[in-house]
Structure 1
């Protein structure tokens, strides 16, 4: 019995932790862009009468908030501009070639 439990822990443990799982819709040689791996991917822009907000990684940010060492200086309809001169765009991984 303990052997079965040990085998389950060895084979099911990593799956439950999400390690080694690959997106089945991606090509075999696909590697996520550095921005997506680092958590600084622009996922959404929210516009409201009180101002625009950006969802970067898992955080809701506004103008003046920090992403790493840079600050958000502008939030547009499909991108945000950072103080270090970089621009994060929505769907960048799809549209870049």
Structure 2
């Protein structure tokens, strides 16, 4: 009789611990809130502004942000673009938008 009680107790313990462990797993289909490289405040500050690419002409640089083309001095989201580099945009309020490195690299060149 005590073996049956022991077996049932162990079965109950295994079932309960399994469900608690399953609750701790992250849903792989759920979008990330912020990346590990960004702090929570920085991610919140840049929410809504996505730098897609940098376009360089002979005399100017343009930034494609939220599918709109901007240049230095343009106003965007209650601030102004101060500087456009090869892979980033510096805003007047101190924020920095960075484009994914694979997008800025050209085939056959190394930076």
Q: Structure 1 32/61 Cα, relative in aligned 2: closer, same or farther at 3 Å?
A: farther
CA distance, structure 2, for counterparts of residue 70 and residue 63 of structure 1:
12
Choose which of 70, 81, 91 in structure 1 pairs with 2:79. Answer: 70
Give the structure with the higher percent strand.
Answer: 1
1:30, distance to aligned residue in structure 2 (A): 1.6
In structure 2, the residue matched to 1:43 is 52
Q: Does 1:29 align with 2:38?
A: no
1:29, distance to aligned residue in structure 2 (A): 2.2
CA distance, structure 1, for counterparts of residue 33 and residue 85 of structure 2:
24
CA distance, structure 2, for counterparts of residue 52 and residue 32 of structure 1:
31
- How many residues of Structure 1 are paired with residues of Structure 2 in the alignment? 64
The residue correspondences of 1:10-21 to structure 2 (distance < 5 A) are: none
1:31, distance to aligned residue in structure 2 (A): 3.5
1:32, distance to aligned residue in structure 2 (A): 5.8
Secondary structure of the residue aligned to 1:71 is strand
Normalising by structure 2, what TM-score?
0.51
CA distance, structure 2, for counterparts of residue 66 and residue 85 of structure 1:
14
Normalising by structure 1, what TM-score?
0.58
Q: Would you identify which runs of 4 or more consecutive aligned residues in structure 1 move more than 3 Å?
A: 31-36
